[in-house]
Chain A
């Protein structure tokens, strides 16, 4: 996320990315990825803007955004915590891990902490089945997350030092 840039600069960046594409309509998913990288999430007005620039109905854009769990329409926290709910992790206690995280962060999956520090989400299989159950924080995989103490230690690494 470009923290220092203004929304106007975001829009300019997005527009020049769209301008650089030879096939625009066909690249909807790529454009959405790029937009989410810039804005951190995909609010309605950004989706609408993309629809106009790609000349496709905004309902279609919304349909695609709502389909893929990677895309989010809600602003995310500074750190994104994901729990893998793929088959291997599920069998080895992903549900317990998710509940423990919800407990420690005091939010439900899909929500963001009031201090905007953590967003908790779930995803399917990151290919680290040997380490099941796993949680992923900002893309870094933490395996064998059975104990509340271990989970707490991982989260602590991302909390600002007081």
Chain B
């Protein structure tokens, strides 16, 4: 049933149950918000009305109403622009600022902060209130996420993301009154919790309370160390988001400019994680076939995503034998740079620094896992920076990004196919695997390489693909809450999938916690995905097993896929962890 109401003298009809905020938006009236955030595609809705910034005046009602949480009612007369509403909003923001550090100039979120832009938008020119300021310890315990509760405005967006979308439940509002702040259980450092470091809390945090652990200076130091040979690699999802940092439209493919920028920054070699994505397909597809032929446990779960890996280690420690043992692509490339490539160049692996540019903050934690190294002193990957950090580096070096001439990755670890570039979007790994599995198992050419059914933002996508007389039951999941639902079915023996791709972040890596901030606009994620699919279509080779550099690598160095040397270098093991 439609409800008739009036907003700022404009009469309108909207469906019952709609909030005043959404109703106003249908007639292009924007009401400022801060804590409120709705991401339909993720089933995320944070409308706890804690900030009171979206207040409006309703005729006949004594107090102001928060428009994000108040539903419309018949005959309602709303004013969003009355002096009382405007003054109240400004007062709310001033109150928030009175207990907020005034260190905007040096804050990691400077010019990317919702509180800062709101203060500007509302014309806050001074803070009328003086009072106590919170003093909390900054948590730098993890290799991925920095928590500065002093900058927390108690909007609880992170808590909603962590509890409801990801079902990890690391955060909760703790305490009451002025002392209330979002914390971990028992004030534990993040490193001692079940945090997966997916970074989706960072992606929705409106202020600098949650940010990635900044490694930019470490990279500058390595680049300026004459004794270090510094090699960089870039993940698929970076090339369709990096341009956003330089005013380009989301989804713009900037691969060539990115390579040029990295060379300008001083990296000795610029390799592509896409190469290792092709390699992952070879290893994972062979592992799947091996499990099927030898009666191994099914389904095989992909293991490219470190946040997903940590999730199952904490939440499903009884199922550690079902994920693929494949290392994630950048770890595979890291170990190859320090073994195969070091040998080719005749360099001691200890004098090589491998830097990964990732859309992800969990990759920082992953690189520090002891399993992912060849001895205590030689980590497969030394430093991980996010897309955001690379943007900062390019700016710091005063490079005119948009004017750069496009360049190509170095050979041979920079060669890749279209199959690998789609790894960056949800469904991409499975689609790439099917392109190879089909041809390897049937010996026939796959004419239509696009598997549309595996693309898009649905939380769970399923397909039954007949190959050589056997039906392969495949599923694609993104978002850890969706993963939990399916994992619980597997635990209960109610699932009959053969293979499942799982990514922690909604949308896959294009929506990673290390990407440029989307500020609630998920259209950006679709644009980035479309960018990857365009890049795939433009590639002359679109199947991983056709990558000549991959064929050469097996021939010269690795031997058979899933063979002895591949096992030693490219596969890993998992650890049962406590749920806290």
Chain A neighbourhood of B185, CB < 8 A = 44, 47-48, 51, 57-59, 61-62
Tell me if B186 and A56 are in contact (CB < 8 A): no
Tell me if B172 and A59 are in contact (CB < 8 A): yes
- Does B553 touch A at the CB level, under 8 Å? no
Chain B neighbourhood of A160, CB < 8 A = none
Tell me if B163 and A60 are in contact (CB < 8 A): yes
- Give me 25 A-to-B residue pairs in the complex whose CB atoms sit less than 8 angstroms apart, sorted by A's number: A44-B186, A47-B186, A48-B186, A48-B580, A52-B579, A57-B170, A57-B172, A58-B169, A58-B185, A58-B579, A58-B580, A59-B172, A59-B183, A59-B184, A59-B193, A60-B169, A62-B172, A62-B174, A62-B185, A62-B186, A63-B174, A66-B174, A66-B175, A66-B176, A67-B175
Chain B neighbourhood of A62, CB < 8 A = 172, 174, 183, 185-186
Distance from A43 Cβ to chain B, minimum over Cβ atoms (Å): 9
The count of residues in chain A whose C-beta lies closer than 8 Å to any C-beta of chain B is: 15
CB within 8 Å of A: which residues of B?
A: 163, 168-176, 183-186, 193, 579-580
Partner of A56, one of B169, B170, B580: B169
* Alpha-carbon distance A57/B176, docked complex (angstroms): 19
CB within 8 Å of B: which residues of A?
A: 44, 47-48, 51-52, 56-63, 66-67
Describe A's contact surface by its main secondary structure.
helix
Tell me if A57 and B163 are in contact (CB < 8 A): yes
Distance from B175 Cβ to chain A, minimum over Cβ atoms (Å): 5
Distance from A85 Cβ to chain B, minimum over Cβ atoms (Å): 14
* Most chain A CB within a 10 A radius of its CB, from B168, B170, B171, B172: B172
Chain B neighbourhood of A52, CB < 8 A = 579
Chain B neighbourhood of A56, CB < 8 A = 169
A65 closest partner in B (C-beta): B174
Given contacts A59-B169, A60-B163, contact A67 B176 (CB under 8 A): yes
* Alpha-carbon distance A67/B185, docked complex (angstroms): 13
Partner of A59, one of B171, B175, B176: B171
Per CB-CB distance, the 6 closest pairs between chain A and chain B, nearest first, are A57-B169, A63-B172, A59-B172, A58-B185, A59-B185, A44-B186
Chain A neighbourhood of B184, CB < 8 A = 59
Q: A48-B185, A59-B193 are known; give 15 further A-B pairs, CB within 8 A.
A: A44-B185, A44-B186, A47-B185, A56-B169, A57-B170, A57-B172, A59-B169, A59-B170, A59-B172, A59-B183, A60-B169, A62-B174, A66-B176, A67-B173, A67-B175
Distance from B160 Cβ to chain A, minimum over Cβ atoms (Å): 12
Chain A neighbourhood of B183, CB < 8 A = 59, 62
* Alpha-carbon distance A61/B183, docked complex (angstroms): 12
* Alpha-carbon distance A62/B170, docked complex (angstroms): 11
Chain B neighbourhood of A63, CB < 8 A = 172-174
Distance from B159 Cβ to chain A, minimum over Cβ atoms (Å): 8
A68 closest partner in B (C-beta): B176
Distance from B194 Cβ to chain A, minimum over Cβ atoms (Å): 8
Distance from B576 Cβ to chain A, minimum over Cβ atoms (Å): 15
